[in-house]
Amino acid sequence: MPGVARSLVRVGEIELAVAVTGEGPPVLLLHGYPQTHVMWRHVVDRLAAEHTLVMPDLRGYGQSEKPPGDSRHTTYSKRAMAADALRLMEGLGHERFAVVGHDRGARVAHRLALDAPGVVRSLAVLDIVPTHYLFHHVDRPLADGYFHWFFLTQPELPERLIGADIEGWTRWVLDRWAGDARPIDPAAVDEYVAGMSSPGAVHASCEDYRAAASIDLELDDADVSAGRRVQAPLLALWGDEGRMGQLYDVGRIWTDYADEVSGRAVRGGHFVAEEAPEETSDALLAFLRDPAGWEATL
């Protein structure tokens, strides 16, 4: 991504690889699995014309630090990852900001909006339903489409199997989850393979999923029981060829977890920012300009 400044930034006990570009109201962009901040490359230019963009590699991914997991998986809890993001933005001088997250990054963004409601100005989540909803509505189509949610939580085995062919696994995942609209370009795929091949990355990503099925779900259950919801305006986007949109009424589900929800499907599969960058950029820019007035509330 030409013109994007990259650096390593210490946040608490770990170091994050961070890319920054643009000028204007700040937006934090959080990538998904098995990717890095490079997933935003096709939307950066348009968003950066109006916003300061902060794009870290999440802990455990890309060039960011990859601490070992712990027995309760708190090291890779979405609360820990959200705290990384909050410290990063505070350190850069951004007291209040918008958050856009895809896949795992959207789950971190959801947790950040719950834990720091006064900080998150608006929240956009790309191709997910809440972790709480997904785990409480497990059925055969989910198990088929999202088998990796259960495979990656197993102790030790996924590290051994994926570790035997990291490149093969990463390329298979990217190909299986994408739609037919626009293939992910080879240079980006190479970047994601390199990130997953770095020492500790496979273990870290497995811990991310183990946390989702344990400590993250515990925290989500507690929030739902207490009636805590996302207060910031929320935009949900999902791929019209992806499993998420095929299995779920994505926008309606989010209305059970957030006060003000809008959204729609865009062209493509799971990787909407890469498969449908124009549509995704259009939606994000309109939402970021006027979060409360973007299209119709669901």
Name the residues annotated as catalytic.
103, 270
Angle at 84 between CA 30 and CA 279, to 5 degrees: 10
Cβ atoms of residues 115 and 178 within 8 Å: no
CA 296 to chain centre: 24
What is the end-to-end Cα distance of the chain in Å, rounded?
35
User: Measuring CA to CA, how many Å separate 114 from each of 38, 91, 258, 278?
Assistant: 26, 20, 10, 29
Nearest to 273 by CA among 43, 116, 32, 12: 43
* Residue 98 phi, psi (nearest 5): -90, 155
Rounded CA-CA distance 297/258 in Å is 11
Cβ atoms of residues 196 and 158 within 8 Å: no
User: H or E stretch including 47?
Assistant: helix 44-48
